[in-house]
Amino acid sequence: MADYENIRYVVAGPMALITIDRKKKHNAISLATLAELQHAVAVAADDDAVRVITITGAGDKAFASGSDLEEVLHRDLRKALEPIVQGLAEQLERTPKPTIAAINGICMGGGLEVALGCDLRIAVPRAQFATPEGKLGIIPGGGATARLPRIVGRGWGMEMLLMGEPIDAERALQIGLITRIVAADELLTEARRMADHLAQFAPFVPRTMKAMVHFGMESSLAGALMLEKYAQGALVQTEDKVEGISAFLAKRDPDFKGR
């Protein structure tokens, strides 16, 4: 396992927990932090024991307060265009395993963009969300202008991007930015419960479902439906399909093999 300076990586049961650990900077995300996050996600994706990848922040104040502004101050065009800036969220979307953002506090700027790359987002009541880059003379550079409107709709996407004002967890829940509000002392417990739940499915199911949604959002309705038909055709030929239906009819727990 690699030695990380800015994150922690722990596997427990079916879940890999990646913690952004820069508490003195409210878990602000530097380019080095991005690189470590990308490495950890790749490690988790290649680990057959890991079924779900969860990202959270260290401490009780911030998931990630944004990009490290001391770096951004000196960032030039060449650095801004480097693939790593947008790469993590894209990696989270493309990894076949479900990803969860367990948001334990401030989630703004680059931190929000990390969360937007995850498939599921849950948050504590005190969480705050914003894209404040406009106040700094820049715009989001990690994918928020593309992903945020797709998740919350054009209206709220414009509201958050243009106004740059923070919204609380209740509003985030209302607009679909998050799907669950969880007590602070239960956040990681809930993430583990979700991971345990997902681990009960046949391995092909969550990854195929995830791929269908991401492809479908970028495709025409006809194209998405056609691919869904072929994906379902592939899954109905698996041993796990036979096992899943047989177990249901026999009122027993299935024993999926991933084949």
Which residue in the list 113, 159, 218, 228 is annotated as catalytic? 113
Do residues 168 and 127 lie in contact, with contact meaning Cβ atoms separated by under 8 Å?
yes
Our CA dihedral for 198, 200, 205, 206, rounded to 10 degrees, sits at 10
Active site annotation includes 5: no
Active site annotation includes 36: no
- In degrees and rounded to multiples of 5, residue 137 shows phi and psi of 85, 15
Which residue in the list 133, 165, 190, 228 is annotated as catalytic? 133
Helices (H), the chain: 31-46, 69-73, 77-80, 83-94, 110-116, 144-152, 154-158, 169-175, 187-199, 204-218, 221-235, 239-249
Our CA dihedral for 107, 30, 102, 205, rounded to 10 degrees, sits at 120
Spell out a b/e string for 98-125, using b for 16 or more CB atoms within 10 Å of the CB, else e.
bbbbbbbbbbbbbbbbbbbbbbbbbbbe
**Residue 175 tokens, joined:** 């607009």
Question: What stretch of H or E contains 54?
Answer: strand 52-57
Residues forming the active site: 113, 133
